[in-house]
Amino acid sequence: MERTCLSKMSFLLAFLVLSTAGFEAAQAANGVSFSFPVFNDSIGKKIELFNDSYFQTEGDHKVIQLATETDGKTYRSGWAVYAKSIPIWDKSSGAVVTFTTHFEFVIARNTTNSFGSGDGLAFFMAPLGFRAPPLSAGKFLGLFNTTTTGNPANQIVAVEFDTNKNSQDPDDNHVGIDVNTIVSQANRSVNTGSLKDGKKWDAWVDYDGAKKQIEVFLGRTGSKPAAAMLRYGLDLANFLPENVMMGLSASTGMGTESHLLLSWEFSSTTSWNFSSIDIEGPEIGAPVRNRRKSIVAAVAAASGAAVVCGVVLVGGWWWWFVRRRERPKTEAENEIAALDKEFSQGPRKFTYTELKTATKNFSEEEKLGQGGFGAVYRGVLEDTRELVAVKRVSQGSKQGKKEYVAEVSIISRLGHRNLVQLLGWCHERGELLLVYEYMRNGSLDSTIFCDGGAPLEWGRRYNVACDVAAALVYLHEDWDQCILHRDVKSSNIMLDSNFNAKLGDFGLARLVERNMESGHMTAVAGTLGYLAPECIMTGMASMESDVYSFGTVALEIACGRRALDERCNMRLVDWVWDLYGKGRVVEAAAEGLSGGFNGEEMERLLVVGLWCSHPDPAARPRMREALKVLRFEEALPCIPRTKPVTVFVCSDPVRLSAVLSSTSLYATCSQMNTTNTSFVLPR
Is 391 annotated for ligand binding? Answer: yes
- In sequence order, the β-bridge partners of residue 393 are 374
Q: Give the contacts of 392 (CB within 8 A, at least 6 positions apart).
A: 362, 374, 375, 376, 377, 431, 432, 433
Closest CA to 90 of 281, 240, 224: 240
Residue 330 per-residue DSSP state? P
- With both helix axes pointing from N to C terminus, report the angle between 599-612 and 458-473 in degrees, rounded to the nearest 10: 40
Give CA–CA dist 284/270, Å, rounded: 21
Residue 264 per-residue DSSP state? E
Q: Give the contacts of 614 (CB within 8 A, at least 6 positions apart).
A: 548, 551, 620, 639, 644
Burial, 134: exposed, middle or buried (Cβ in 10 Å; 0-12, 13-18, 19+)? middle
Q: Any catalytic annotation for residue 208?
A: no
Helix H or strand E encompassing 266: strand 257-269
Catalytic residue among 52, 487, 496, 546: 487
Burial, 409: exposed, middle or buried (Cβ in 10 Å; 0-12, 13-18, 19+)? middle
Closest CA to 121 of 150, 141, 92: 141
Query: Rounded to a whole number, what is the largest CA-CA distance in the chain?
Result: 118
Q: What single-letter amino acid sits at 551?
A: G
Give CA–CA dist 77/132, Å, rounded: 9
Burial, 652: exposed, middle or buried (Cβ in 10 Å; 0-12, 13-18, 19+)? exposed
DSSP assignments along 400-449, one per residue = HHHHHHHHHHHHTT---TTBPPEEEEEEETTEEEEEEE--TT-BHHHHHS
Instruction: Name the residues annotated as catalytic.
Output: 487
Indicate the annotated binding residues for ATP.
391
